[in-house]
Amino acid sequence: MLRLVHTLVFLLPALFLAHSIKASAPKAAVYTGCKVPNTVALTFDDGPYINQTDISKMLVEKGAKGTFFVNGYNYECIYGKKVAARLQATYNAGHQICSHTWDHPDLTDLNATEIQAESDKIDVALQKILGITTQFIRPPYGSYNNMVRQVLSNKTFIIWDFDSGDSVGASVQESENAYDQAIAGNVTSLLALNHETEKTTVSDVLPYAINKLQAAGYNLVTVAECLGMAPYTSVEPLGQRDATWFCPEERSGD
């Protein structure tokens, strides 16, 4: 008995350490703003959703580009026929597509295996649908810690330095005022958080912001462009639908 206790005393800390990550392990880089002067990166989270094409067209008409941080299964299943086709069209229009995890959890609530799966599942979907491997991920709620950065150490985390407030109850007027204030402050660049799932972002705030920002002389570019980095670690032709294009959440529901 004494010998067993003795063994456990030495074994337990060793077991624990084997499952934790060393503080010195590499961590994902985190960017909260753009690097290239005079750029604005308009970003749109939580899709793919019904108004993505409207956003894409609005930007293209103004010679602008946007960045979409998409989920695999949040508002819609990314593999849905219309949804996947819409995402391919957005990508083909020149916008940047990035990861926002599979189903939008707070990553700091998850263990290492779960964090990796959240990233891998959406990355696989983007590889299948768009042929790309994305370098960039925005952790949901902008929430991360050292463990999240270590598990996803070869990703680049993108946060923001400007929030339109659209997902936290800002009115159209408040969002527009926020853009006006940034412009009045003569900011060098903006990494702007918006949500493609908010109706008035699409119908009101976005057209307003595009006009005001361009009138003030900003270039509306992708996040990769505003950082001077490559958006993807590999680029292949668009994927073709096959039997693996489904969300397990939907299959199990029918």
Ligand X SMILES: *[C@@H]1O[C@H](CO)[C@@H](O)[C@H](O)[C@H]1NC(C)=O
Q: Which residues are catalytic?
A: 45, 195
**202 contact, one of Zn ion, ligand X, none, CB 5-8 Å limit per kind:** ligand X
Using the minimum distance from each CB to ligand X, give the nearer residue, 6 or 233.
233
Site for ligand X, residues 127 to 146, rule: CB under 6 A: 133, 135
Using the minimum distance from each CB to Zn ion, give the nearer residue, 168 or 215.
168
Q: Is 118 in the site for Zn ion (CB under 5 A)?
A: no
Using the minimum distance from each CB to ligand X, give the nearer residue, 181 or 233.
233
Q: How far apart are CA 166 and CA 174, in angstroms?
A: 9
Angle at 190 between CA 138 and CA 136, to 5 degrees: 25
Q: Are 155 and 122 in contact (CB under 8 A)?
A: no
**Residue from the set 186, 243, 251, 252 that interacts with ligand X by CB under 6 A:** 186
Q: Is 188 in the site for ligand X (CB under 6 A)?
A: yes
Site for ligand X, residues 88 to 117, rule: CB under 6 A: 111, 113-114
Q: Are 37 and 187 in contact (CB under 8 A)?
A: no
Q: Are 123 and 233 in contact (CB under 8 A)?
A: no
Least separation in angstroms between residue 100's CB and Zn ion is 6
Least separation in angstroms between residue 154's CB and ligand X is 4
E strand map for 153-247: 156-158, 162-163, 190-195, 219-220, 232-235
Using the minimum distance from each CB to ligand X, give the nearer residue, 6 or 85.
85
- What are the angstrom distances between the C-alpha of 44 and each of 1, 10, 69, 71? 61, 50, 6, 11
With a CB cutoff of 8 Å and minimum separation 6, the contacts of 106 are 140, 141, 143
Q: Is 46 in the site for Zn ion (CB under 5 A)?
A: yes
Binding site for ligand X (CB under 6 A): 50-51, 54, 111, 113-114, 133, 135, 154, 186, 188, 202-203, 233
